[in-house]
Structure 1
Amino acid sequence: MTGGNGRGVGGDRSADSVESVLERRDHAASVVSAILSERDAAAFVHVGTDRDPGIRYTCPAPAAGRTAVAYLRAEKEWVVQSADDEVRGDPAERLASSLADRGLEGTILTPPRVPHDAALYLEHAGFELASTDALERARATKTVGERDGIAAAQRAASAGIRRAASILADATVVDGRLEIPESDRSDPEPLTPARLRIAIDEAIVEAGAFPAGTTAVNPDSSDGTDAEPLRPGEPIVLEAAPRGPTGYYGGLVRTLVVDSDGGRERRVHVAVTQSFRSARSMLTAGTESVTAVEADLEAEVRSFGFAEGDAIETDVAGVGLEPRERPVEGGDDVGPGTVVRIDVAGQVGADTRIRIADVLAVTGEGERPDWLAAPSQSLEPAALLE
């Protein structure tokens, strides 16, 4: 692989192992190469900044600024041009010239979102452009290294949720609200959503990941009372989707109740947790579409006696360099190699619900998929600490 800045692809790769980089690059090449052959195209080109997931996927740890990357069908080679003070000209313009100087001709495939000026550089160099989702297809199936990166983020999410569970387990009930006993204070500290969110974020950072602004406590609360004390007997939804050290995201949601008196919340909880078992069994049997998995989750919850009027929400989507990525559309396949976040919520009251989300890695056909770093799904805070 070549690059215009003399540093090769990736620049500083301290956060990503060489083995993981090579594995991901080879996987992307195999998918892109097959699509180039199918469409009789000469090369694939993508242009974006170091924040672009497609650039980060094909060029691990790219240099700051703009990067242009190409995969050449005949040469089976990646070519990269990055922003560099020592090399003049826009990376996309330099890449277009480089491809033309190599004698490349014909059609070049690009993502639909390729910048307009980059497309003009390629057209001025004599190439015809056509759009492709080759990169998204490649990213939909995770390599072992990517799965490890997601698992690391998920472990950090689990550490954050467990920290919140520990605080809830120790909380006391005073005048109908939850409070944190303080040995050096005469008055306990009220336990608020804001206090729990900060605790989750601190634990995520301690675990080596970044909260990435995704942590939430009771994210669907209609009154937005972030500073109001939490109350016993009411479901508390905790959500975290941190970004791990290699740039991959996790996704975890738990609902906890302090001093639960059972009733409808227990019934909803049993139905929701059972739906996760059903989906895992479904994906053990073979590949299914996102729509089919979501329908199975809802059907399983409703099988516990919930009517059509009872609000049940299901969501199945891939997770990786973005918190939500392919497979994400209804017809996308959830099959071997995919890693998806399964999210199910059932209504308890007008403003409360039981919601759980976990990340599932689908392995080989006929093999049971793996839940990545999944703490207990219990409503009891103490259960998550065992």
Structure 2
Amino acid sequence: MTGGNGGVTDGDRVDDNASFHRERRDHAAGVVSAVLDERGATAFVHVGADRDPGIRYGRPTDSSGLTAIAYDGAESEWLVRSAGDDASGHPAERLASALVDRGLEGTVLTPPRVPHDAALYLEGAGFELASTDALERARATKTDGERERIAAAQRAASAGIRQAASILAGATVVDGRLAVGGGDGTESEPLTPARLRTAIDEAIVGAGAFPAGNTAVDPDSSRDSETDAPLRPGEPIVLEAVPRGPAGYYGGLVRTLVVDSDGGRERRVHVAVTQSFRSARSMLTAGTESVTAVEADLEAEVRSFGFAEGDAIETEVSGVGLEPRERPIDGGDDVGPGAVVRLDVAGQVEADTRIRIADVLAINDAGERPDRLAAPSQSLEPTALLD
């Protein structure tokens, strides 16, 4: 039966969710299996709360509360024991017993920060523990299903930023401050950062995601000691949205908008910042690069527009997924095929104002240009984001 949602039935949703979990599970198993073989280990184990990104990623099925997961390398099978199961005892203790019952022994690999009590249960069952970052390595490369969910969160971020742009496009100037309303005989009201944040959050929720407390307007500005002072025309307004989708995956979008811009240095900084994104995309089209190399390329491109060493330029490259910032994130981490990364670049205009832009890119095979996920115009003009 076809539902009233564009031909998608509840059964389709269940099948899609099952396919997504299976795809992610198989990807994780491939990475973990290779590490187990390399290290001569018998299983991989992780224990944590259901909010732990590693637990949410590695479990093959939904679970709740404290959860212990394991990958049995010999049987190529995932095991899960959760506090929500109809069984007594610590999940790690029950999982350790299950591994012993399977005839497993020797070394078990765990993340470096496995809880102390869980480690004791594993050691008490006769296993030796050694640390690994295999799960984080797996998470650094996204499956097709993960890309789709990040893109959905990014569409929600775009909806929020576009809503703010719409409000700014319709704002008027009253006593040197931005104001909204004032039609039909009503008085206009000051346009404040809080008002824009609320509008962004409402649009994000309307797009099916959660603001997650990450929405910000002028997050780095020191122009006013009173954080909710009305916004001004002619000054850059930085808008940041980092929503979380229903599946737990994040987006990340930053735009800088100016009402009644008079050009000047802010335009020059804007051109430099936007050009840096084009340069980085070209760099990542050619092949895999390190986080450090991409950040350096972004900064070098901005400075090539005549900015001196004393001009503040900030660049950040990090993965995005079940966390707003995750691997690849360290300088030596690779940004290559399968990675989904957020590029964030800011250039100083005045002592207390910046032009800042951030987009999320899905990296493809060498020779293929990275995809910008749900990215509205990078223009300073609010109206340009409404097209």
| Common fold by TM > 0.5 | yes
The answer to whether the 8 Å contact 2:217/2:240 transfers is yes
Partner Cα separation in structure 2 for residue 86 and residue 200 of structure 1 = 42
Determine the C-alpha separation between the residues in 1 that align with 2:46 and 2:182.
55
How far the C-alpha of 1:224 sits from its partner, in A, is 4.9
CA distance in 2, matches of 1:70, 1:352: 49
Give CA-to-partner distance per residue, 1:12-49, whole Å, 9 cap, x none.
x9697111111100000000000000000000000011
Within-5 A mapping of 1:228-307: 228-307=229-308
2:306 and 2:216 map into 1 onto residues whose CA distance is: 30
Q: Which amino acid aligns with 2:305?
A: F
SS in 2 for 1:164: helix
Is the contact made by 1:69 and 1:81 (CA closer than 8 Å) also made in structure 2? yes
SS in 2 for 1:329: coil
- Aligned AA for 1:86? D
Amino acid at match of 1:288: E
Q: What residue identity is the alignment partner of 2:31?
A: V
Distance 1:303 1:263 in 2: 18
User: Residue type of the partner of 2:325?
Assistant: R
In the TM superposition, 1:328-347 aligns within 5 A as 328-347=329-348
Contact map agreement 2:60 2:78 (CA 8 A) in 1: no
TM-score, normalisation: structure 1? 0.95
- Letter in structure 1 aligned against 2:205: V
* SS of equivalent residue, structure 1 residue 159: helix
CA distance in 1, matches of 2:63, 2:84: 8
* CA displacement, residues 309-364 of structure 1 (integer Å, 9 cap, x when unaligned): 00000000000000000000000000000000000000000100000000000011
1:106-255 residue pairs with structure 2 within 5 A? 106-184=106-184, 186-222=186-222, 223-255=224-256
- 1:290-322 Cα offsets, whole Å, 9 max, x none, are 000000000000000000000000000000000
CA–CA distance in structure 2, aligned partners of residues 152 and 231 of structure 1: 32
Distance 1:225 1:73 in 2: 58
Q: Which runs of 5+ in 1 are unaligned?
A: 1-12
What is aligned with 1:3? Answer: none
**Structure 1 residues 24 and 116: CA distance shift in structure 2, 3 A:** same
Pairing 1:309–2:310 present: yes
Task: Give the CA deviation at 1:101.
Answer: 1.6
1:85 to partner: Cα distance: 5.8
Please name the residue that 1:5 is paired with. none
Counterpart amino acid of residue 351 in structure 1: D
After superposition, the C-alpha distances for 1:128-169 in whole angstroms (9 at most, x for unaligned) are: 000000000000000000000000000000000000000000
Aligned to 2:325, the other structure's residue is in SS state coil
Contact between 1:192 and 1:229, CA under 8 Å: does it hold in 2?
yes
1:190-240 C-alpha deviation (Å, 9 max, x unpaired):
000000000000000000000000000000022453321000000000000
Q: What is the aligned partner in structure 2 of residue 352 from structure 1?
A: 353
Residue 289 of structure 1: how far off its partner (Å): 0.0
Maintained 8 Å contact 2:250/2:320: yes
Q: TM-score of the superposition, structure 2-length normalised? A: 0.95
Q: Is the 8 A contact 2:327 2:333 kept in 1?
A: yes
What secondary structure, in the 3-state scheme, does the structure 1 residue paired with 2:350 have?
Answer: coil
Label 1:15 to 1:379 Cα distance change in 2 as closer, same or farther (>3 A).
farther
Contact 2:137 2:327 in 1 (8 A): yes
Answer yes or no: is the 8 Å Cα contact 1:55–1:62 preserved in 2.
no
Matched AA of 1:45 = V
Structure 2 SS opposite 1:279: helix
- Secondary structure in 2 matching 1:342: strand
Deviations 1:41-84 (A, max 9, x none): 00000001110000100126632211100001111110111113
Partners of 1:200 and 1:58 in 2: CA distance: 32
| Native 8 Å contact 1:249 1:323 kept in 2 | yes
* Alignment partner, residue 373 of structure 1: 374
Asked whether the 8 Å contact 2:22–2:60 carries over to 1, the reply is no
Contact 1:50 1:61 in 2 (8 A): no
Whole-angstrom CA distance in 1 between matches of 2:14 and 2:212: 20
Percentage of identical aligned residues: 80
- Equivalents in 2 of 1:309, 1:34: separation in Å? 47
Contact 1:67 1:80 survives alignment (8 Å):
yes
Mark the CA change 1:211 to 1:351 in structure 2 (over 3 Å): closer, same or farther: same
Distance 2:98 2:199 in 1: 51
Q: Matches of 1:43 and 1:164 in 2, distance apart?
A: 50
SS in 2 for 1:23: helix
Superposition RMSD on alpha carbons, in Å? Answer: 1.3
Q: What's the CA shift for 1:182?
A: 3.3
CA distance in 2, matches of 1:279, 1:370: 12
